[in-house]
Structure 1
Amino acid sequence: MRHVLLVDDEEAILYVFRKYLERAGFAVSTAANAHDAIALFGSGHVDALVTDQRMPGMTGDMLVQRLRSVRPGLPAVIVTAYAAECSPDLRNVPVLNKPVPPADLVAAVERALSLAAKDAPA
């Protein structure tokens, strides 16, 4: 089972997105901020990251960069109401606008995983 690390500072968003992803067959861990996400990432296997952009302490794109410094090519998706704030330099990171339909979130995670698999060394 593929494992998604879900990060958002809004508890209701974590709950709803977790349900979307679990119904699609993913195992999901949640974190309410980037610092907790970094700790969770370091303590177990994560196949993909789904993060909010605007959070206290560290933005979502900064979190993606930080985790990719440890694991280059980590599949990631940013879901935000502030897409214009996201760094255009992030490679293969789709940015979805909140509110996001469940099927769109699941499809974006699946695409990110698929792209990462294609880019992985043989």
Structure 2
Amino acid sequence: MYNKRILVVDDEEAILLAFRKLLKRPNVEVDTCECIEDAKAKIDSIYYDAVIADLRLSGTLGQEGFEIISYIRNKSKETRIALITAYGSSGTFEKAMGLGADLYFEKPVSMGNLNEVLESIGVK
């Protein structure tokens, strides 16, 4: 039985596979999706202890990660949110935190970064 759930949202399948493997623990279920629509559907039907979302999901200059942060914060104040991006800047960091993100990482994301996510939901 799982007692913690994490959702990873990224449009790169290799990242989804890697994060699923690296975050997996006996008491942690890891779900993944590639687009904002699927992320919203999962968030509507399942409570997640943490969500890790890429800033840009569509392969364009979009910033869907910000929308995911706002969407989650309107539903849950407890869910830990980590925004990841290959396009980091101080402005991106400030906006993410202002919208309610708890963690912010620039790609490539390290195992130490993923451990921060796990620790934020009480998993060692």
Alpha-carbon distance in structure 2 between the residues aligned to 1:51 and 1:109: 15
Give 2:116's aligned residue. 107
Q: TM-score, normalised by structure 2?
A: 0.79
For structure 2, the residue ranges without an aligned partner over 5 or more in a row are: none
Task: Mark the CA change 1:16 to 1:25 in structure 2 (over 3 Å): closer, same or farther.
Answer: farther
- Aligned residues of 2:9 and 2:16 also touching (Cα < 8 A): yes
Give 1:28's aligned residue. 30
For residues 39-84 of structure 1, give each alpha carbon's deviation from its aligned partner in whole angstroms, at most 9, with x where no partner exists. Answer: 0111122111111011126521220111111112421001211122
- Aligned residues of 1:20 and 1:106 also touching (Cα < 8 A): no
Task: Mark the CA change 1:92 to 1:64 in structure 2 (over 3 Å): closer, same or farther.
Answer: closer
**Identity within the alignment, %:** 32
Q: TM-score, normalised by structure 1?
A: 0.80
Partner secondary structure for residue 4 of structure 1: strand
Q: How many residues align?
A: 113
Superposed structure 1 runs of 4+ greater than 4 Å apart: none
| Superposition RMSD in Å | 2.0
Instruction: Give the alignment of 1:58-69 within 5 angstroms.
Output: 59-69=64-74
Alpha-carbon distance in structure 2 between the residues aligned to 1:105 and 1:79: 11
Alpha-carbon distance in structure 2 between the residues aligned to 1:65 and 1:92: 9
For structure 1, the residue ranges without an aligned partner over 5 or more in a row are: 115-122
